[in-house]
Amino acid sequence: MSRQVPALSPEKEFAETLRSMGCLVSGEHPIMDAKKHRIEVEGDKKGGKAGFYVAYLDGHPSGYIKNNRTGIELKWKSKGYSLDPEQKAAMQAEAAAKLAARAEQQQQEQEAVAQHVVKQMDDLVTVIEPTPYLKAKGITPQAGIYTDSDGQKTYIPAIDSDGKQWTMQYIQEDGTKRFAKGGRKEGCFHPIGGLAAIAAAPVIVIGQGYATVAQVSQALGYGTVAAFDAGNLEGVAKALHKSFPDKPILIAGDDDQSLPNNPGKTKAQEAARAVDGTAFFPIFAPGEQADNPKGFTDFNDLATKSALGIEAVERQVHAAVSKAIDNHQKRVQKQTQQQGQQGQHEQKQERRRLRVR
C-alpha cells in the first residue's frame, strides 16, 4: 500500500526552499538527479549563477544548497513522507527523461555556438601589436590569439583535447571577460603554441587565466595551457592526462587569499590530485600579499606587480617543473621495478606448477 502523499511534491518543496535561499527558480529547475547544478540568485548580474544545489530522490528526498553571494548554505530534507518504490521509480524516470532531453538540447546549442565562433574567426586577425589587455598584463603577443580590425579587443579560442573549437573568450579593452553565450567551456582550454606545442613540452602546465599561463610559458620557453577559471582546472587536467598519460601535469594555481575558502588554491590542488600531478603557487615578497591580497594572486602579478619580478617567476616555475619531472621519473622507475618483480613472481609460480605436473 502506498504511503500518504505529502502536501507538496519533493520537487515543489525543494523549489520553495531554493527560493527561500535567494535562488531564482525557473525553467527546468530544480533538477533532482544527484548532480551539481548552478542557479541564478538574487543580486546576480545578467548571466550570473552564484548559487548551486544537489538534490536526491533516493528514499527520503534530500539535498544541499549554497548561495555563494550570501555565503549561506543549507542541508535539506523533505518534510513529506518517504517515497514508496513505485513513486521513487516514477520520479527517477521522469528526472532521467528530463536530463536526457536537456543534455540533447544543450549539445545542439553548443554545436551551433561552435559553428558560430569558427565562422567569427574569419573576421579576426592574429594579434601582432599588443591589445590593451595584453599591454595591461605586460604580455608579449603569442600565436593563437586574435583581435578585431581596430586591435582593441582580445579573442582567445577554446578547444577540446581533439582540437575542436567550441567557444571563445572575449576580453574587452578594460579587461572585462566573457564567453560566447551557450557555448561549451567545460573541459575546453587554450593551448599556448597550439596542441603541437603541448605535445612537444616535457610537462603539461595548466593555469587559470591567459595572462598567467602566458607568463609561465615565457619563463619556461614552451607551451602551457589556460583553463580559464578555477572550476575548469580539473576537467582540463583530466582531458590532457588522457591524451598525454606519460607527461607530468602541473597546475600553476592562483592564491586567492582574499576570497572565502581560497577557490584558486583549493581547485588547483583538487585538479592536481585528480591526475596525480602537482600544484604550485606564486610566492611574493614579504608583506605584498598581506597588504593587497586581491592584487597579488597569480604568476602574472608576480612578474608585473611584485618587487621580485620576472626573475622570481622564472626561478619558482623552473624549480616546480624540475621537482615534478624528478618525482615523475622516480614514480615511473618504481612502477617498472614493481612490474619486474611481479613478472619474476609469476614466472616462479609457473615453474612450480610445471614441476607439480
Q: What is the mean pLDDT of residues 167-179?
A: 95
Q: How far is CA 266 from CA 125, 248, 297, in A?
A: 37, 20, 13
Q: What is the mean pLDDT of residues 139-160?
A: 94
**Of 166, 68, 187, which Cα lies nearest the Cα of 120?**
166
CATH topology of domain 186-339: Dna Topoisomerase Vi A Subunit; Chain: A, domain 2 (3.40.1360)
pLDDT at 72: 84
pLDDT digits (tens, 9 = 90+) for 1-57: 444 444 578 888 999 899 988 899 998 899 998 899 999 988 887 778 999 999 998
- Kindly report which listed range (284-288, 296-300, 335-339) carries the lowest average pLDDT score: 335-339
Neighbour tally for 139: CB within 10 Å = 24
- Rounded CA separation 314/215 (Å): 9
Domain boundaries, the chain: 10-114, 186-339
Q: What is the mean pLDDT of residues 237-266?
A: 94
Q: How far is CA 337 from CA 20, 172, 329, in A?
A: 58, 53, 12
